[in-house]
Amino acid sequence: MKAITLPDSIRQFVNEQVTIEIPPDDPVFPYSEYWWKAVVFLLLSGRIKSTYNRNLPNLTDVNRICKEGNFNPYYFQIHAEFLIASEVLNATSDNRYVPGKRFEDFLSRNLTRIKEVAHQGLVSAIGGIISSQSSRPKLVVYDGAVSFLQRFFMALDGKSLRAERIGQAFLDFSMLPENESARVWLDATAEKALFDAIFICGWAYQVKKKGDEWFYLNHTGRVMLGFEEPPQIPEESKDLKVMPDLSILAGIDLPVETLATLFRYCRIKLIRPIVTFQLDAKVMATVPRTTPAVEELSRILEQCSPLPSAVAVFLNKENRQGGEVQYLSCQGLIRVEDREVLKRIKAHPKLKSYLAQGGPQGYLIIKDGTNLFNFLQRCEDHGFEVKPMQFR
Give pLDDT tens digits for 154-213: 988 888 999 998 988 988 888 887 765 455 667 778 888 889 999 999 999 888 887 889
Contact 217, 228 (CB under 8 A): no
What is the domain partition of the chain in residue ranges? 8-224, 240-283+298-320, 330-381
CA dist 191 and 171 (Å) reads 7
- The mean per-residue pLDDT over the stretch 250-260 comes to 96
Quick check: 86 pLDDT over 60? yes
358 confidence band (pLDDT: 50, 70, 90) = confident
Q: What would the pLDDT profile of 5-53 be if each residue is shown by its tens digit? A: 667 788 888 888 888 887 778 899 999 999 999 999 999 999 999 998 8
Higher pLDDT: 129 or 259? It is 259
In whole numbers, what is the pLDDT of the chain averaged over residues? 88
Predicted local confidence at residue 23, as pLDDT: 74
Q: Which residues are paired to 247 by β-bridges?
A: 278
Contact 47, 101 (CB under 8 A): no
- The mean per-residue pLDDT over the stretch 106-130 comes to 93
Other Cβ atoms less than 10 A from the Cβ of 15: the count is 9
Return phi, psi of residue 333, to 5°.
Answer: -125, 125
261 confidence band (pLDDT: 50, 70, 90) = very high
CA dist 383 and 392 (Å) reads 26
Predicted local confidence at residue 1, as pLDDT: 52
Predicted local confidence at residue 4, as pLDDT: 58
Contact 191, 126 (CB under 8 A): no
Which SS3 state, helix, strand or coil, does residue 338 take? coil
Quick check: 292 pLDDT over 60? yes
Q: Which residues are paired to 209 by β-bridges?
A: 212
Name the amino acid, one letter, at 94: D
